[in-house]
Amino acid sequence: MSKKEYSEEQIEEILSNPNVKTCSSKYITFTDEFKVKALELDKRYLLPREIFKKFWFPEYIINTKIPKQTLGTLRYKERNEWISWVISSKKGRLKKERIDFNNMTKDEKIQYLETENAYLKELHKQIYWHYP
């Protein structure tokens, strides 16, 4: 996390750039098109600061470690998780699906609990299995 905080004027200037999706006082989120184009330029061996200059970012962003870190992250994600992750803006963990008993009928509850009991019995057999 950056210790640098952007002022309101700087946020407005950053948001005026068409390559920025969102911007807060601490974070900048880039558009998917920018990410793909930046990776293409990076493959042509342009320096991260030169890439950010081509996309008209202000000097107070170009002269920080943001360009290098951003392209490093994009390179890593492209290598390990393909381009589909690079252009997806969803980040973080998926929420665990929860079973809502209130919306179940009585028969559905019984079937669910019977299935759960069968699963737990099999699990118990595996855990407490002894050699004959």
**What per-residue confidence (pLDDT) applies to 128?**
85
Instruction: Please give the structure tokens belonging to residue 78.
Output: 């492209």
**What per-residue confidence (pLDDT) applies to 1?**
47
Cα R_g (the chain), whole angstroms: 25
CB of 24 closer than 8 Å to CB of 37: no
pLDDT mean values, one per 10 residues, the chain (132 residues): 82 95 92 92 94 95 94 87 64 72 90 94 86 68
CB of 16 closer than 8 Å to CB of 28: no
Q: Where are the beta strands (DSSP E) in 33-131?
A: none
**What per-residue confidence (pLDDT) applies to 87?**
64
Q: List the one residue out of 70, 80, 5 whose CA is nearest residue 42.
A: 70
Q: List the one residue out of 2, 19, 90, 95 whose CA is nearest residue 57.
A: 19
Q: What is d(CA 96, CA 105) in angstroms, rounded to the nearest whole number?
A: 22
- Residue 29 backbone dihedrals phi, psi, to 5 degrees: -110, 125
